[in-house]
Amino acid sequence: MIDTIQAWFQRLYETTGLNFTVFYDAYDWNRYVGGLRMTLLLGVTTILASLAIGAVGALLQSSPSRLLRGLVNGFVVAFRNTPPLVQIFFFYFGIGTLLPAARTADGLRAPILDNVQWAIVSLSLFAGAFNVEIFRSGIEAVPKTTVEAAEALGYTRLKAYRHVVLPLALRVCLPALNNNLINLLKTTTLAYAIAVPETLYAVKQIWSESQNVLEMMLVLLATYAVLVGALVWIMHRWERALRIPGYGR
């Protein structure tokens, strides 16, 4: 099976000159799969972390403390209105070099967080800032009477938030959340700039060595079309599964 695929792409190269090295060269294939795995790792971790940041931020935004509210607002405003690429550079180069670092046995600098971890941190914060706003709009859409009913049943503020408000708010803001998470998956390509070996980075390496820019570009476009398509499909399934009976349609 694999042999036939490899032979087919080899023949494609010999007959048409379209050189898809990834599909017959084991070395390039491994690099490509490694990049794909890194993109998936980035995507899954940043989506989960940004959801957590959004939920906590939205909770803090309704807290009685003015200081906390101001902090969350400042975070949201600052991260929404600055370029994510500069944020990544600021965190990785700026903060990363200020933090104390250990030395390896060879005397090399071993920072606390490596480039992959910094990419995850800064991308999560970037998407988390958007999620805070999205969740807040969802929470505002939950009727006040529902919260009061929960309070009357003896829920504490935190418990009411977790069991009553958040599940309802999540359903209200899912369309906006879909958009943001898809955007986040696309933004993971920016990790390329700090040499995180994700799909774009791997594909760039392959095309600079094998001189097949057009073919690898097509592979790259197809890869992201499939990745984004898969995420859209999953989110739509989720949206349908979470649908509140009796609303819409």
Residue 75 near residue 83, CB atoms below 8 Å: no
Residue 112 CB, nearest approach to other proteins (Å) = 14
From residue 33, give the alpha-carbon distance in Å to each of 144, 191, 224, 232, 249: 49, 17, 13, 22, 42
DSSP 216: H
Residue 68 CB, nearest approach to other proteins (Å) = 11
Residue 170 CB, nearest approach to other proteins (Å) = 23
Cα 9 to Cα 15: distance, rounded to the nearest angstrom: 10
Q: Could you give the string, one character per residue 96-135, with x where binding to other proteins holds by CB under 8 A and - elsewhere?
A: -xx-------------------------------------
Residue 55 near residue 247, CB atoms below 8 Å: no
Of 15, 16, 65, 81, the one binding other proteins (CB under 8 A) is 81
Question: Of 119 and 160, which has the nearer Cβ to other proteins?
Answer: 119
Cα 79 to Cα 127: distance, rounded to the nearest angstrom: 9
Q: In this structure, what token pair is assigned to residue 163? A: 């069991």
Q: What are the beta bridge partners of residue 109?
A: 103
Q: Is 82 in the site for other proteins (CB under 8 A)?
A: yes
Q: Which residues bind other proteins (CB under 8 A)?
A: 66, 69-71, 73-75, 77-78, 80-87, 89-90, 93-95, 97-98, 182, 186-190, 192-193, 200, 204, 213-214, 217, 220-221, 224-225, 228-229
